[in-house]
Amino acid sequence: MAGAVPPLSVLLVRHAQTTANAGEVTDNHADIRLTALGEQQARDVALAIGQSPPDLIVVSPFRRTLDTAVPLIQAHPTVAVETWPIEEFSYLAPARADRTSPAERKPMVAEYWDRADPLYVDGKGAESFAHFIERLRRFHRRLWQHSGRVVVFGHGQFLRGFVLGLHEGFSDSREAMLRFRQAETTVPVRNGEIIAVALPSPGELIHGGGSDGR
């Protein structure tokens, strides 16, 4: 029927600006707070999504996604809110990255991506690229367990990886790792950006390759 609501409609929202995004030194990457600009961006997101309540609001375990979702949650207090394991791709070990600024982390970031090893784990609390891709796959499958309008508050690298995976397949090969790095650095998801995605079903999705056969 023309004009019918699709069975699954998904909006991906990157969290609003945080103190880390503003270049400040941060501690505990899971508990980074929004700036004053970020709080305004969160209110703008709620306005942009509109007065029609979603069927589900999804946030990551990291504080900044919930803080960004608060204005939408307050506007629609009866809507279910669920926390899913869609936290940011944390490829640097917290023991090295905590209490540093983005500028101080720059050499560590360059070292990781120059290595370009999908199976490499930087240390305790870090994850490999292959594990990150598996989380993207699980997120895609879990979305398809729902219907209606779902609003997901996530993170820049996670959302860019998800959108890229929908187009190219969720591959954890070295080549896919390098393509992901190029995409997320040349076309980063902006703070407070809203992306509407059309999801192929898991059965229709292109299947990516493995980890370089290793």
**CA 168, CA 156: separation in Å to the nearest integer?**
18
- Provide the sign of the torsion angle of the four alpha carbons 164, 170, 172, 173, taken in this order: negative
pLDDT of residue 6: 56
Which residue is listed with tokens 């990781």?
112
The residues, ordered by sequence, that sit 6+ positions from 185 with a Cβ below 8 Å of its Cβ are none
Distances in whole angstroms, Cα of residue 167 to Cα of each of 21, 89, 157, 188, 191? 28, 19, 16, 16, 22
Cβ atoms of 158 and 138 within 8 Å: the answer is: no
Which residue is listed with tokens 């030194």?
25
pLDDT of residue 205: 65
Domain map (residue ranges) of the chain:
8-197
DSSP-derived letter for residue 206 is: P
pLDDT of residue 102: 85
pLDDT of residue 27: 73
Q: Closest by alpha carbon to 13, among 40, 37, 48, 39?
A: 48
**CA 73, CA 53: separation in Å to the nearest integer?**
9
pLDDT of residue 206: 52
What is the mean pLDDT for each group of 10 consecutive residues in the chain (214 residues)?
Answer: 65 96 82 96 97 96 97 98 97 88 92 97 96 98 94 98 96 98 96 93 58 29
Supply the CATH classification number for the domain 8-197.
3.40.50.1240
The residues, ordered by sequence, that sit 6+ positions from 104 with a Cβ below 8 Å of its Cβ are 25
Distances in whole angstroms, Cα of residue 27 to Cα of each of 16, 31, 144, 155, 191? 18, 8, 35, 17, 20
